[in-house]
Chain A
């Protein structure tokens, strides 16, 4: 009963954008762990002609204006044409203006924030460890999962935390493909914009201060953890 009333308190519409933001950031981080770590490992351990191209494509979301990504996703996921139409007609799935669509957008948008730290962390480990493992007959996968990653924990943590924090800060992309739907796509950054546009400045102040505090806390965590491991 007590637990239920706490849930009620936090379920007020005012806090919905924050739960939504955290859910989005958490799910995006998990997905990017599954996709990004193997990708980072592959990039760290491989050498091939097209590697600069792959790395450039992975880094694109760092440089591209979010509205470009948003625009292309809007075109791709639109239910009246192309892949979006196939998704809607065949699978009954509409990704535009939905939480799932935001997850897709966030995964693309935050990809470099997972891949870069992990790749850098792996590349900075002494190559002799890798080579020793190879001479002992270990495969590349084994080397990645049993030798390198366990020793690149700070890099992994940095990747997780940066991905999480970066997704919290997403705005332009969500503005274009989100639709500002309360409880579904009205994340904290959009809620602030919405509050300012409807002249609810006190709400905007509360939301902004909270986001600022959380972002600062996350960054403090990253820097503290990295300092401890550098001993």
Chain B
């Protein structure tokens, strides 16, 4: 029976820890040396347009952006719990307004674009499914964003009600937690068709990923998208610059290219 003192085990573990830490410390240090980019909470509908916006903003001002995507409602809840974002790009005006009322923002929300709703079909069908086909047998599941969290989901419900389709398709609706998850449902075939943002289907990487039909503007309330600087930001000047940037011709052109309508 071997009575190895714990000292030996401790020394072995200490060596492991030393080796491990000495590998991690230089990495951790180098993460600190680079400048902190602006952290922008982006509603999922704008996750793809965020990329050219980020690139243009960095080119113009040298300020980097780190986008974090989610549904407008979830991001708002996180901001209310103190999440460290600098700017919030929502898919509506209500969520940023709620933050503004609670003194969680620097200034009132700024309208930066009107969103456009599309009906997106996966690539296997070969053609876009029309609104009128939704009650039919060939459509089994329709992906829609949860209206409580995602303004585009609310708009999709409005479209269904407007064309008196809601009762006929209600049983087929599948609720995703964000536009991002709607896209995932359509792409993986979990849903035959879904309501998503036009900027998703126009993004360069997504054009071959299915077929889409734009929803008539009059069938839902305009999706007024607001942007706001958050009170928790450590860099208010740079954050405000981004908001101003969204109004510049460069940014507006990018937004137009991605299917948004401009205020």
Contact = CB atoms under 8 A, between A and B. Distances in A.
Contact of B84 (A26, A74, A181, A199): A181
Given A11-B30, A74-B81, A197-B180, A182 B66 contact: yes
Nearest to B84: A97
B59 interface: no
Contacts of B178: 197
A205 interface: no
Contact of B6 (A10, A23, A146, A194): A146
B121 to A, nearest CB: 15
A150 B4 contact: yes
A124 B8 CA distance: 22
Contacts of B209: 199
B3 interface: yes
Contacts of A194: 69
Interface in B50-73: 66, 68-70
B180 A179 contact: no
B116 interface: no
Given A180-B70, A198-B47, A146 B5 contact: yes
A80 B69 CA distance: 24
B187 interface: yes
A210 to B, nearest CB: 17
* Interface residues on chain A, size class: 35 or more
Report which residue of B3, B4, B82, B209 has the largest number of chain A beta carbons within 10 angstroms of its beta carbon.
Answer: B82
Contacts of A79: 81-82
Contacts of B184: 196-197, 199
Nearest to A149: B6
A26 B70 contact: no
B78 A179 contact: yes
Q: B interface, how many residues as a size bin?
A: 35 or more
Interface string A146-186: 11011101001000000000000000000000011111000
A26 B177 CA distance: 32
B20 interface: yes
Interface string A133-146: 00000000000011
B48 to A, nearest CB: 8
A117 to B, nearest CB: 15
Interface string B170-207: 00000000101101100100000000000000000110
B24 A23 contact: yes
B31 interface: yes
A229 to B, nearest CB: 12
Interface string B26-56: 1110110000000100001001100000000
B24 A26 contact: yes
B237 interface: no
Interface string A61-97: 0000000000000100011100000001000001011
A42 interface: no
Nearest to B26: A7
- List of 10 A-B pairs having minimum Cβ-Cβ separation, nearest first: A197-B180, A79-B82, A150-B4, A97-B83, A179-B83, A145-B6, A78-B81, A180-B68, A7-B30, A182-B66
Interface of A: 3, 7-8, 10-11, 19, 22-23, 26, 30, 33, 74, 78-80, 88, 94, 96-97, 129, 145-147, 149-151, 153, 156, 179-183, 194, 196-199
23 contacts: A10-B27, A11-B30, A11-B31, A19-B24, A19-B27, A33-B13, A74-B81, A78-B82, A88-B82, A96-B83, A97-B78, A97-B82, A97-B83, A146-B3, A153-B9, A180-B69, A182-B66, A182-B68, A197-B181, A198-B69, A199-B184, A199-B206, A199-B209
